[in-house]
Amino acid sequence: MAVTGLYCDYATQGEQSTTNMLGAILNQLFEADGIPESLRQVFRAEKKGFGGRATQLLELVGMVKAAIALIPQVFICIDGLDECLPKNRRELLESLQDIVRALPTTRVFLSGRPHIQDEIKRYFAGAIMIAVVPTIKDIERYLRMRLDRDPTPSAMDDDLRAEIVRVIPRKISKM
Amino acid sequence: MNKTDDEDNQIKQWLSPLEPRCKHRSVQANRVDGVGGWLLERSEFREWRKRQVLPKQVVLFCYGDPGVGKTHIRSVRKLSLASGNY
């Protein structure tokens, strides 16, 4: 099994081209069994990269498919999909569509802001949509962690601490 | 570093300069134990995770506004996939 993942980020949109994103997935797919000889040959032949950009993307999708086909189960996780440029997001979703059509045991996990739901549905009509809302328990856990890291714990007594953990999660969950 | 390692690194760079594993380590380091664990109990997640589900349901999208914990959810999930413990 292989679990691959990417984080999209507004701050580094420049280097998050679709080809770089697929290339990063490919690198992770090679982690277990190493880089295949066929790819080494392509690399040696064209040390300066592939030809045109379109060819490169298609070629990469082909390489990702070939790599996935050798692994019993592959998960592709992409976090913050709303943070990549719209053009790249389209190309990425198209590439993923192509990949899962060819290899239906592949599982794709995406996360992002709600507004890209419709776009995802256009490519994957049956996609499962789950709203992420922090649970009261999650907020409590987070608060306790922050309180434990408090640099001046003596400034707070146990009552105040208990009050914080009791009141804040309930306020937040009502927002 | 021997010759093969050197070529491996060149190929990796050629394929992509992105290093999501680094970011993943920092997310892991900042996560709080147990946060987002609810996702693992959801029936949709369990169905999606099974190998033989309808091909239409191969994609799972977790959505939410900034700061609700989507990144950490993914991180939780990734961990649980890798360990097979969910």
H helix or E strand, kind and range, residue B79: helix B70-83
Distance CA B77, CA A58 (A): 30
Least confidently predicted of A72-76, A93-97, A164-168, A169-173: A169-173
| Amino acid present at A12 | T
Residue spans of alpha helices (H) in chain A:
18-29, 37-45, 53-69, 86-102, 117-123, 136-148, 158-173
Q: Do the chains contact at B68 and A132, CB–CB below 8 Å?
A: yes
Nearest residue, CB atoms, B74 vs list A79, A128, A134:
A79
* pLDDT tens digits for range A49-99: 555 444 588 889 999 999 999 998 899 999 999 999 999 999 999 999 999
B residues 29-48 closer than 8 Å to A (CB): 32-36, 38-39, 42, 44-45, 47-48
Class of the domain covering A2-123: alpha beta
Would you tell me the crossing angle of helices A86-102 and A18-29 to the nearest 10 degrees?
Answer: 40
Question: According to the model, what pLDDT value does residue A170 have?
Answer: 79
Distance CA B13, CA A127 (A): 33
Q: Do the chains contact at A108 and B36, CB–CB below 8 Å?
A: no
- Positions in chain B whose pLDDT score sits under 70: 1-3, 28-35, 72-86
Model pTM score: 0.80
